[in-house]
DNA sequence: TTTCCTTTGTAACCATTGTTACTGCACAGG
DNA sequence: CCTGTGCAGTAACAATGGTTACAAAGGAAA
């Protein structure tokens, strides 16, 4: 655990803090597709990502989904931090996008470390900053972009996060993440294929030149 | 200034902290429509709202606007706080929705108070929490609601924030905030009038029963 | 092979939203 | 009083995205 932490957070946290994290944190390794958090779940710990990626989803009352953003190495979930204060039920769903290693830290430590470690304060504020910006970005995409642009952005981001130019998703999967319908996504993907930007296959697609 | 602060923040901050704020803060009173912050502006201070309301807008590269949320008494701008860390250019525009009193605090004090005052830490984390939730809300509206529902929500929220069941806006104004077009808004407003929910006038409208 | 289920392709159609264009009206300023 | 300017009403049309329905293809299991 301490090696993992040092690799991922050695430049962020001082040695003492890393030692504290090792003391109280619990190491977790979850497979792709594992549901780490459901909407309405009570939040008991704060995740520190070591490797892998987690996708954060929002859902409305009808069960319609929407991908908000991905968490990656060095990220944590600002929602969790925010929830330490008020009511502590999750507003979002978190699913492992790839096999993922992370460390869970009990939320009780948050305030203590905020006082004690400057690096922790910086980390917490930076995390908030990044998350706010990610949310603004997502909002921009939805408000200002059309579905074809959003689709291209989605494919690029997914390829980046999984580090793979093959996207292992069905059209239906993509439609869920973008809060659209399968037929619409098939239509747009076909157009992208005709433009030579991607190559479609059953259950996956290749990115050629987006 | 100290009375204003005590009324708005007496329950949030301890007396010492209020005294410190009085020492270093500058009181500002701005009229409705005053632009407090433009996208790309450098952030020098952190606002604490005393009375009034500020609307926070996002804009894309084509100049299309979108209302994100309102700041009200007891609120502060999380974006500002976030910006103290990294690059400190504003991602948003801030315009006084009503006549507004606020206190600007130099951002240098942020970290000092974060260590020194528990009430300040709580305030900062709560602010982040609220802002994240507001953004999630806005995102829900845009992603999951249709324009007619968004319009109704907009009118209700505006009435609440201005504390006035008369909305002093032209159809064009509303269209800008919702990132739509004047004709669409006129059409929907007309429908709402036919349903007896509002009454239309030139340059303003009355909310009857939303 | 045959069967069954999932995924994808496609057409036809609808609803919502956005666009263009033109009208009439209100009101401020001359 | 007249006139210009900005605001609102409305029609016709276009574009985007969502829905329904059905066919075809791939692949796994019997």
- B169-201: b (≥16 Cβ within 10 Å) or e: bbbeebbbbbbbeeebbbebbeebeeeeebeee
Which B residues between 127 and 156 have a beta carbon under 7 A from any strand C atom?
146-148
Asked if strand C comes closer than 7 Å to A170 Cβ, the answer is yes
The neighbour count for residue A98, using CB atoms within 10 Å, is 19
Instruction: Tell me phi and psi for residue B98, to 5 degrees.
Output: -130, 175
Length of chain B equals 210
pLDDT value, residue B61: 85
Instruction: With a cut of 80, say whether residue B86 has pLDDT above it.
Output: no
pLDDT value, residue B128: 84
Mutate to test the interface with B, among A12, A86, A129, A150 (most CBs of B within 10 A): A129
Q: Quick one: tokens of B45?
A: 């201070």
CB within 8 Å of A150: residues ≥ 6 apart: A141, A142, A178
pLDDT value, residue B94: 94
**Per-residue pLDDT tens over the stretch B123-174:** 988 888 888 889 999 999 999 999 999 999 999 999 999 999 999 999 999 9
C-alpha dist (Å) from residue B95 to A96, B88, B100, B130: 40, 19, 10, 19
**Per-residue pLDDT tens over the stretch A79-119:** 777 666 566 788 899 999 999 999 999 988 988 998 899 99
Structural domains of chain A sorted by starting position, each given as residue range(s) with its CATH number in brackets: 2-143 (2.60.120.10), 146-207 (1.10.10.10)
Of B58, B84, B143, the CB nearest to A66: B143
B107 touches chain A (CB under 8 A): no
Name the nearest CA neighbour of A103 among A47, A24, A56.
A47
Asked if strand C comes closer than 7 Å to B65 Cβ, the answer is no
A14 touches chain B (CB under 8 A): no
CB–CB contacts below 8 A, A to B: 99
Average pLDDT over residues A12-36: 95
Average pLDDT over residues A186-206: 96
C-alpha–C-alpha distance, residues A153 and A159, integer Å: 10
pLDDT value, residue A85: 59
Contacts of B58 in chain A (CB under 8 A): 136, 139-140, 143
pLDDT value, residue A1: 81
Q: Could you tell me the distance in Å between the CA of residue B151 and the C1' of nucleotide C23?
A: 26
Q: Could you tell me the distance in Å between the CA of residue A183 and the C1' of nucleotide D21?
A: 12
In terms of CA atoms, which chain B residue is nearest residue A144? B60
Asked if strand C comes closer than 7 Å to B11 Cβ, the answer is no
C-alpha–C-alpha distance, residues B33 and B100, integer Å: 10
pTM over 0.85: yes
Q: Could you tell me the distance in Å between the CA of residue B150 and the C1' of nucleotide D30?
A: 53
- pLDDT, averaged across chain A: 92
Name the nearest CA neighbour of B162 among B149, B147, B173, B172.
B173
- Touching B: A residues 109-128, CB under 8 Å: 111, 114-115, 121-122, 125-126, 128
pLDDT confidence band for A44 (50 / 70 / 90):
confident
A66/B144 Cβ within 8 A: yes
**Per-residue pLDDT tens over the stretch B9-46:** 999 999 999 999 999 999 999 999 999 999 988 888 88
């Amino acid at each position: 655990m301490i090696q993992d932490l040092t690799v991922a957070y050695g430049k962020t946290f001082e040695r003492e803090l890393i030692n504290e994290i090792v003391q109280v944190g619990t190491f977790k390794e979850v497979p792709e597709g594992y549901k780490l958090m459901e909407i309405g779940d009570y939040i008991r710990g704060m995740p520190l990502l070591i490797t892998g990626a987690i996708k954060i989803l929002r859902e409305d009352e009808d069960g319609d989904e929407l991908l908000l953003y991905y968490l990656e190495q060095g990220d944590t979930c600002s929602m969790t931090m925010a929830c330490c204060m008020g009511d502590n039920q999750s507003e979002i769903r978190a699913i492992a996008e790839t096999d993922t290693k992370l460390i869970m830290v009990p939320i009780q430590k948050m305030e203590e470390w905020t006082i004690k470690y400057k690096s922790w304060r910086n980390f917490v504020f930076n995390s908030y900053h990044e998350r706010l910006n990610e949310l603004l970005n997502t909002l921009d995409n939805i408000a200002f972009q059309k579905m074809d642009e959003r689709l291209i952005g989605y494919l690029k981001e997914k390829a980046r996060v999984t580090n793979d130019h093959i996207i292992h998703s069905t059209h239906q999967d993509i439609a869920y993440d973008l809060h659209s319908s399968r037929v619409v996504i098939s239509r747009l993907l076909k157009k992208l294929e005709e433009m030579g930007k991607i190559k479609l296959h059953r259950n996956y697609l290749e990115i050629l030149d987006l």
